[in-house]
Amino acid sequence: MTSPTRTPKRLRWRSLVILALLLTPLLWPLQQLAQRYYSGVLAEQNRQTLDLYVANLLGTLRRYEILPQILGDLPDLRRVLEAPDDGQALNSANRLLQRIREQTGADVIYLMAPSGNTLATSNWDQEDSFVARNFAFRPYFREAIAGRVGRFFGLGTTSGKRGYYFAAAVRDGERNLGALVVKVDLDHTETLWGNTPEQLLVTDANGVVILTSRSDWRFHASRPLDAAERAAIAANIPYPTQSPPPLRLEESAWIRQDRTLEETGWTVSILAPRALVDRPVRTAVAIGGGALLVLLLLLGLMMMRRRHYLERIALDTRARQELEQRVQARTQDLELLNSRLKQEVLEREHAQQELVRAQDELVQAGKLSALGTMSASISHELNQPLAAIRSYADNAGVLLDHGRTDDARGNLKLISQLTERMASIIAHLRAFARRDRHAPESVALQPAIDDALSLLVKRRRTLDVELIRDLPDANLWVQAGETRLRQVLGNLLANAFDALAERPQPRRIWISTELTADGVDLHLRDNGPGFSQDALMRAREPFFTTKTSAQGLGLGLAICDALMRALGGELLFANHPEGGALLTLRLRAGAPGVNTQPSEDLAQ
């Protein structure tokens, strides 16, 4: 039982893991998407910053670009160029330049002779004054003398400060009088940047970093320098070092955006650490992964719940099937048992029928044998009245011959009485010998007693017999035949009246019942003379009677006894201790109910 339930469980978890592996690649596009999005956002930000910075830088430079040409036309300065030894002119030129520098915000403004010597300068009064210094080696001077606007970035040889130099020739027609130079301080352009993770990088035409927010990058070469460039560097001394060390930038760590400034030949770059993108991307991927995990867990939970549900259903189904099988098996057993019982019942019924038949035949055989034994007495009993009839008939003929009609009528009456007696004997014998086709049925006892008494009511009244009934109100049901029971009761009561007729008042009959284990005992007692000793011994015998032939046939008790036995009961007779006869009918109990069977008929 355990292995089939464990296998799908393991399978489910495995499929969940497979599902997770299949779903994990979904994180890759998510990562790409997030990367693209955040890169875009950062690039846009950087582009704006870069634009701002470039505009600022160009603005700073352009502000001073035209200044040397304008200043070159000032007469005070021209005068110095024309008379370099004029101390007063020099002095006023120096002061003029100083004033202009203060007004324009330039770093230094100075005037050079065609030889490259500085004649007048705005920093004339400072320690590192340019006065009398020669800057002919500077490219801007050469450019200016050549008639172009000189531009140059470099460290001040005296100040050591970085600056951008604009130079223009001061001309008088075709003649070069000298040159005017404006040096712009660029140090402050580096401090535009706040404390942001993005870094600024301005490289010149040589690829050397000249302005940067990272001081350790300054004057490093972003690319290898060729010989011409090295020579130019050696000649112009733009940097504090002759050979700038290489700038080692880990390209993958930075997201870079460049802008080239045509007029200076510079490249302005903004470098944003890749971490700025990586961090939100990682967060997005983590959130996505988390969501996926939650989804998977929910899925797993759902699958688990579904599996539990299916398992429960399977378990229920199995239990139901088992129950059904058990019920089926039990039903089969019961059916088998039932059919066996039916068979047994059939066999019993058959056996009972056989028994009843056998009993019937036995009774019949008993009756026949009794009749056999009785036949002598019967023929005697019938012959006697027959002989008497014959003699009365003969006698009647003689009497009629003699005209004694009254006597003859008397004879005929006697004949009639005798035939009546013979008919009575025959009727009793018929009733006795009749094969009773009725099986014992349930009969109410009290109504049967009432019936029997009602037939004898006239006799009872004549004899003035007191009846003492001790019977329960509720009907007592016994196994009997209604007619047969009435016949028995009638016989016994008639015998009691016969016995009571022999004695004086008071005459009493007691009828009482007693419940026994098998049914009911019905006691009939009278206060007559009781059975004689002989009668106690032989009363069951057919034709035994102590009565005169007119009173009794001696068949009553014999027939009653036979009928009671046929009904499964018994007839007992004895004398009561206080005198009189005591007859007991021992009857089997019957099922309570209404007797629906047709009454038996003696004539049948």
Residues of the shown chain interacting with ligand ADP in the complex, contacts defined by CB under 6 A:
495-496, 499, 526, 528-532, 535, 539, 544-547, 552-558, 581
Residues with Cβ < 8 Å from 283, sequence gap 6 or more?
A: none
Q: Which is nearer to ligand ADP, 391 or 532 (by Cβ)?
A: 532
The label of the residue with tokens 């019957």 reads 590
The string of DSSP letters for 41-56 reads HHHHHHHHHHHHHHHH
CB nearer ligand ADP, residue 274 or residue 525: 525
Minimal distance in Å, beta carbon 333 to ligand ADP?
59
Contact, 542 vs 377, CB < 8 A? yes
Give, in order, the Cα–Cα distances in Å from 142 to each of 114, 148, 174, 249: 10, 9, 16, 35
d(CA 138, CA 239): 13
Least separation, in Å, of the C-beta of 345 and ligand ADP? 42
Q: How far is the CB of 547 from ligand ADP (least distance, A)?
A: 4
306 contacts: CB under 8 Å, gap ≥ 6: none
CB–CB of 201/194 below 8 Å? Answer: no
Backbone angles phi, psi at 113, to 5 degrees: -80, 160
Specify the residue, 42 or 583, whose C-beta has the smaller distance to ligand ADP.
583
CB of 501 to ligand ADP, least distance (A): 10
C-alpha 499/C-alpha 101 separation (Å) is 180
122, 100 Cβ separation under 8 angstroms:
yes
Q: How far apart are CB 568 and ligand ADP at their closest, in Å?
A: 22
Toward ligand ADP, which CB reaches closer, 80 or 539? 539
Stated as kind and residue range, the H or E segment containing 273 is strand 266-273
Residue nearest ligand ADP by beta-carbon distance: 552
Minimum Å gap between C-beta 484 and ligand ADP is 16
Minimal distance, residue 499 CB to ligand ADP, in Å: 3
Q: What are phi and psi of 400, to 5 degrees?
A: -65, -40
Q: CB of 551: closest distance to ligand ADP in angstroms?
A: 7
Q: Which is nearer to ligand ADP, 276 or 499 (CB)?
A: 499
Residues 544 and 495 sit within 8 Å (Cβ to Cβ): no
Which is closer to ligand ADP, CB of 239 or CB of 497? 497
Q: Give me 18's structure tokens.
A: 């497979």
Q: Which two tokens stand for residue 587?
A: 């009857």
Between 383 and 532, whose beta carbon lies closer to ligand ADP?
Answer: 532
- Pairing state between β 507-515 and 465-470: parallel
For the CB of residue 356, give the shortest distance to ligand ADP in the complex, in Å. Answer: 28
Beta strands in 413-546 (DSSP E): 441-444, 465-470, 477-480, 507-515, 519-526
Q: Which is nearer to ligand ADP, 257 or 527 (CB)?
A: 527
Two structure tokens written together for 355: 């028994």
Question: 97 vs 560, which CB is nearer to ligand ADP?
Answer: 560
CB of 442 to ligand ADP, least distance (A): 28
| 123 versus 545: smaller Cβ distance to ligand ADP | 545
CB 555 within 8 A of CB 432: yes
CB burial readout 294-303, b (16+ within 10 A) else e: eebeeebeee
CA distances from 155 to 21, 191, 224, 237 (A): 61, 18, 21, 8
Least spacing, CB of residue 347 vs ligand ADP, in Å = 42
Sequence-separated (6 or more) residues with CB below 8 Å from residue 272: 42, 46, 197, 198, 199, 254, 255, 256
Nearer to ligand ADP, 198 or 381 (CB): 381
Could you tell me the CA-to-CA distances from 391 to 27, 394, 408, 572 in Å, in that order? Answer: 144, 5, 12, 42
* Phi then psi dihedrals of residue 437, to 5 deg: -85, -10
- In the bound state with ligand ADP, the residue whose beta carbon lies nearer, of 58 and 433, is 433
Contacts of 171 (CB under 8 A, 6+ apart): 72, 177
**Complex with ligand ADP: residue 259 or 547, whichever CB lies closer:** 547
Rounded least distance, CB 581 to ligand ADP, Å: 4
Q: Give the ranges where 436-504 is alpha helix by DSSP (H).
A: 445-455, 457-463, 482-501
| HSE-up of residue 155 (Cα within 13 Å, Cβ side) | 17
Comparing CB distances to ligand ADP, the nearer of 129 and 546 is 546
Closer by beta carbon to ligand ADP, 139 or else 554 = 554
Contact status, residue 438 vs residue 567, Cβ threshold 8 Å: no
